[in-house]
Amino acid sequence: MEWSLVNATLRRLGIATDAAESHGVLCGLLCARGSAAEDAWLALVREERAADTTEPAGAEAWTELSRLYRETLGQLRDEEFAFTLLLPDDTQPLQLRADAMTEWCQGFLYGLAAGGVEDASVLPEEVREITEDIVEISSATTDGDEGESGEAAYAELIEYLRVGVILVFETLEAERAGSGDSRVIH
């Protein structure tokens, strides 16, 4: 799915959270809980509906979000490493994409915590290091470099996040399978 389509779906539901942040939350929950994350993610999304939303939430919009869940889980489990972060496309200004990346990271960290991974120090070393890097990226600011060096730095961070999240997912999934707990890694 595309960032702009998910953003439009969230707006139809009266949710102010950006698609990138919402996808980050989903990915964090998937890493923490595996396939048991869908209900938790949709519950978090429902909690963010504006209190003054007068438009009823259409079943179609919720179906779109469920589709995003299935696609994201499928990407994380794909042997070809097909996972991608849900961010604005490359035709958008770098500043917008960089801001969305930091929102995605903040969402990911929130999703991990909401999924039960509240203390990164108990995670395997590789996962802990990636999580610490995501914390750093989530608070990063851009220097406004819209040129080639800014684009290159952005592309490197996106690739690092993409591969890092796959590693976090696979590591925690293996730990869940080994412990018999299909819900949460502590």
Q: Does some domain include residue 185? A: no
Report, as an integer, the average pLDDT of 97-105.
Answer: 96
CATH number, domain at 80?
A: 1.20.120.740
Q: Does some domain include residue 129? A: yes
Length of the chain: 186
Q: Does some domain include residue 186? A: no
Report the candidate in 137, 171, 136, 165 with the shortest Cα–Cα distance to residue 75.
Answer: 165
Q: Does some domain include residue 133? A: yes
Q: Give the chain's radius of gyration (CA, Å).
A: 16
Q: CA 132, CA 55: separation in Å to the nearest integer?
A: 40
Q: CA 134, CA 132: separation in Å to the nearest integer?
A: 5
Report, as an integer, the average pLDDT of 4-20.
Answer: 92
Number of structural domains (the chain) is 1
pLDDT cut 90: percent of the chain above it:
68
Evaluate the CA torsion angle 98, 103, 106, 111 in order and state its sign. Answer: negative
Q: Does some domain include residue 54? A: yes
Report, as an integer, the average pLDDT of 52-73.
Answer: 82
Helices (H), 15-124: 19-33, 38-47, 59-77, 94-114
Enter the tokens of residue 67: 């589709």
- How far, in whole angstroms, is CA 170 from its chain's centroid? 15
Q: Is residue 186's pLDDT more than 50?
A: no
Query: Domain of 35?
Result: 3-179
Confidence of residue 116 (pLDDT cuts 50, 70, 90): very high
Enter the tokens of residue 17: 């959270």
Q: For 22-31, 60-69, 170-179, which range has the lowest pLDDT when averaged over its residues?
A: 170-179
Report, as an integer, the average pLDDT of 58-87.
Answer: 93
Across the chain, what does the average pLDDT equal?
88
Q: Does some domain include residue 97? A: yes
